[in-house]
Chains A and B, each alone.
Chain A
Amino acid sequence: MKLTDAQIERYSRQLILPNIGGKGQEKILNAKVLVIGAGGLGSPASLYLASAGVGKIGIVDSDKVEVNNLQRQIVHSTSTVGKPKVDSAKERLNAINPEIEIVPFNLRLTSANIMDIIKDYDIVVDGSDNFPTRFLVNDACVLAKKPLSHGGIFRFDGQAITILPGESACYRCLFPEPPPPGLVPSCQEAGILGVVAGIIGTIQANEVLKYILKTGDLLTGRLLVFNALDSSFRQVKVPKDPNCPVCGKNPTVTELIDYEQFCQVKPRSAAGGSDG
């Protein structure tokens, strides 16, 4: 594969980098990345991946763009309010980079469809906003041995970790089970600063690019924790848990689980309690 003049022009500022060059750019152009959620994390992640030239980007989301998304979900626009998020994202990403393939999945991931969707991709970016999806994605990636970049955001805090199944700690090594319904307020209730999503989603894009390029050190075995109020980054070591329910020695999770969508079934009174 030889880069065209147009590609040399488009990617010149990263072709210059010692770790990329023409061979690295070819790896990026041939890469296939699945982004789960076209929201606060998926927006910056997909924007940077598309800009860098990732050849195929799948995007999964079942929602439509709402005005209240635009404060942080920067892949969407006022003009795409009401459209499916995956179509809005595709429009914007292809406007930046028309030569890459964007594959929209306008659906909610379940135990029945996730394996079939992730199988075509090299690495998965989890930008989901709820625990059932987060655990489903982790378990599916572990079972399919698919690399995964996890990102999570909450108010002024964010976290990220990269998971190489079998090699490094997975999400369940950190959190063995989802919290009970109602214990943790969702983003919708707790609020989120847009830049926190931007920073964490961008870190996820960086992890994906390093994975594709086989360069640098991935954020494996360590959780990166960001706080926007004191502008601090901390790293917490996360060893692989031998008793992890899904990637441990004697796993109890051997098939995918559809946890209850408890954000939506939570009684209104509870939602209004501490965070309303």
Chain B
Amino acid sequence: MSDAVPNEVLNLENIACPNNFVRTKLKLEEMETGQTLEVILDDGEPIRNVPRAVKEEGHEILKAEKIDNKWKILIKKI
């Protein structure tokens, strides 16, 4: 796990499920294996659903931290 700057950032505040996951998935498709994507998610359903769905697609969640009432998660594309 590194604190290096992520390769891509996606702000999905106020984007409801499942569209936040759809956008995360489409962004990951464009990226290279091994690259990292930082995603900002709302608390509640989004943070419960998106990381799980990302893992189901085979990617890795490197970090998930709560900042106020938002979440910042770091995904590694596998």
User: A residues near B, CB below 8 A?
Assistant: 3, 8-9, 12-13, 15-16, 18, 21-23
Q: Are A22's CB and B29's CB within 8 A?
A: yes
In the bound complex, residues from chain B placing their C-beta under 8 Å from that of A22 are 25-26, 29-30
Q: Are B26's CB and A15's CB within 8 A?
A: yes
Min distance, Cβ B22 to any Cβ of chain A, angstroms: 5
Q: How many residues of B contact A (CB 8 A)?
A: 11
Instruction: Pick the contact of A16: B25, B29, B30 (CB < 8 A).
Output: B25
Q: Are A8's CB and B29's CB within 8 A?
A: no
Min distance, Cβ A137 to any Cβ of chain B, angstroms: 37
User: B residues near A, CB below 8 A?
Assistant: 18-19, 21-23, 25-26, 29-30, 53, 57
Min distance, Cβ A228 to any Cβ of chain B, angstroms: 34
Q: Are B18's CB and A8's CB within 8 A?
A: no
Min distance, Cβ B57 to any Cβ of chain A, angstroms: 6
Instruction: Return the 10 tightest CB-CB contacts between A and B, nearest first.
Output: A22-B26, A12-B22, A22-B29, A15-B22, A21-B29, A12-B19, A16-B18, A16-B22, A8-B22, A21-B25
In the bound complex, CA of A3 to CA of B57 (Å): 20
In the bound complex, CA of A15 to CA of B29 (Å): 11
In the bound complex, residues from chain B placing their C-beta under 8 Å from that of A8 are 19, 22-23, 26
In the bound complex, CA of A21 to CA of B23 (Å): 10
Min distance, Cβ A28 to any Cβ of chain B, angstroms: 14
In the bound complex, residues from chain A placing their C-beta under 8 Å from that of B30 are 22
In the bound complex, CA of A121 to CA of B70 (Å): 48
In the bound complex, residues from chain A placing their C-beta under 8 Å from that of B26 are 3, 8, 15, 21-22
